């Protein structure tokens, strides 16, 4: 992507949800009375002494307090989740789409980390963004994986295969994977790439922890056909939410420029049951704009800066 998401990888028990989920969010949002919080989350009756004044007034006050707590919790839960663009590569020891970039994204505590995947000339899958690697004439689509993987990244790693990358992702279950399939010159090869990507994800038991994204509508539809339950987002920015809903996709994953030009698409998408990601948002003022716009996910090269903006 020149720039997802769902439920956490590990399902919590109902008790864990009550004690660790909305309860913690309410506390973080500054919800005041712990006994009322306990009543909402755990179902016990708060030991609030009865005041001397009118019982109906007391009940009204309780209802208003409960409503305010629920609103505060909903506001906290509604904050966008952070996606590290090409991993967390803007720190020492990392590089775009490197293994280190995923490890550093995971250590940073982001919701998800994005990668770019190419199908090579010999039908292998490798992880890299640009079609032509800078300073070389190596074309990701037209070269063999063996040649591509000799390229050394700025942090000293070699370009990884998708299999190598997924092995690392599988070992770090806290962070979701956002996988972009790069557009290819032949649509039949896009179909092949989609099949191979799904096979690789299933091999590593990562289908439920992965969002699939693509600029090619053909690639999106190939993913939808091969893996009907997969979460698939469209990147190109040329289709309104209703069209995305009609195609059976999960949501829109559009650039900041597109969503600034069409801010109404965020509400339209949500009204249709779709999710919204925006990329690649690296400035504080842009982060605040899209936080306030109500997107579900923000993809950024600077996840710690976005964490600061979300904690304000």
pLDDT by residue (tens digit) across 167-184? 999 999 999 999 999 999
3-state secondary structure of 242: helix
pLDDT recorded at residue 309: 98
Give the pLDDT band of residue 85 (cuts 50, 70, 90): very high
- Arithmetic mean of pLDDT over the chain: 85
15 vs 264: which has the higher pLDDT: 264
Winning range, highest mean pLDDT, from 19-23, 60-64, 282-286: 282-286
Asked if the model's pLDDT at residue 24 lies above 50, the reply is no
Asked if the model's pLDDT at residue 60 lies above 80, the reply is no
* Angle in degrees, CA 113, 11, 45, rounded to 5: 125
CA nearest neighbour of 169 among 213, 136, 123, 207: 207
Asked if the model's pLDDT at residue 42 lies above 50, the reply is no
In the chain, ranges of CATH 3.20.20.190 domains = 79-310
Least confident range from 1-10, 98-107, 157-166: namely 1-10
Asked if the model's pLDDT at residue 12 lies above 80, the reply is no
pLDDT recorded at residue 78: 81
Strands 112-119 and 176-181: parallel
DSSP string across 181-224:
EPP-SSHHHHHHHHHHHHHHHHHTT-GGGEEEEES-HHHHHHHH
Least confident range from 2-6, 34-38, 129-133: namely 34-38
Per-residue model confidence as pLDDT tens digits over 92-106: 999 999 999 999 999
CATH of 79-310, one of 3.90.650.10, 3.40.50.2300, 3.30.110.30, 3.20.20.190: 3.20.20.190
Query: How far, CA to CA in Å, does 21 sit from each of 11, 18, 76, 185?
Result: 12, 6, 11, 45
Percent of the chain with pLDDT over 90: 75
Least confident range from 75-89, 132-146, 158-172, 174-188: namely 75-89
Residues contacting residue 73 through CB under 8 Å, at least 6 positions apart: 22, 25, 26, 29, 31
Query: How far, CA to CA in Å, does 2 sit from each of 34, 180, 253, 279, 281?
Result: 45, 11, 12, 8, 11
């Amino acid at each position: 992507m020149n720039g997802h998401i769902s439920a956490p990888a590990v399902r919590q028990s109902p008790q864990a949800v009550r004690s660790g989920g909305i309860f913690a969010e309410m506390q973080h949002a500054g919800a005041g009375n712990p006994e009322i919080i306990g009543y909402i989350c755990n179902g016990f009756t708060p030991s609030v002494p009865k005041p001397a004044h009118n019982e109906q007034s007391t009940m009204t006050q309780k209802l208003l307090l409960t409503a305010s707590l629920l609103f505060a919790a909903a506001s906290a839960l509604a904050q966008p989740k952070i996606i590290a663009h090409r991993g967390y590569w803007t720190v020492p020891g990392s590089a775009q789409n490197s293994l280190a970039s995923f490890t550093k994204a995971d250590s940073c505590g982001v919701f998800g980390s994005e990668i770019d995947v190419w199908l090579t000339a010999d039908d292998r899958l490798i992880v890299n963004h640009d079609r032509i690697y800078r300073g070389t004439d190596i074309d990701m689509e037209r070269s063999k994986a063996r040649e591509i993987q000799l390229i050394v990244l700025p942090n000293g790693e070699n370009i990884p295969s998708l299999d190598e990358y997924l092995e690392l992702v599988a070992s770090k279950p806290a962070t979701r994977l956002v996988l972009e399939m790069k557009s290819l010159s032949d649509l039949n090869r896009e179909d092949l790439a989609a099949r191979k990507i799904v096979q690789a994800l299933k091999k590593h038991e990562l289908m439920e922890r992965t969002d699939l994204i693509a600029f090619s509508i053909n690639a999106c539809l190939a993913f939808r056909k091969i893996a009907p339950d997969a979460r698939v987002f469209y990147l190109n920015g040329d289709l309104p939410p209703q069209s995305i809903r009609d195609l059976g996709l999960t949501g829109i994953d559009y650039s900041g420029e597109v969503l600034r030009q069409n801010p109404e698409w965020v509400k339209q998408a949500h009204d249709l049951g779709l999710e919204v990601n925006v990329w690649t948002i690296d400035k504080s003022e842009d982060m605040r704009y899209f936080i306030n716009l109500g997107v579900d996910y923000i993809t950024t090269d600077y996840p710690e800066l976005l964490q600061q903006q979300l904690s304000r």
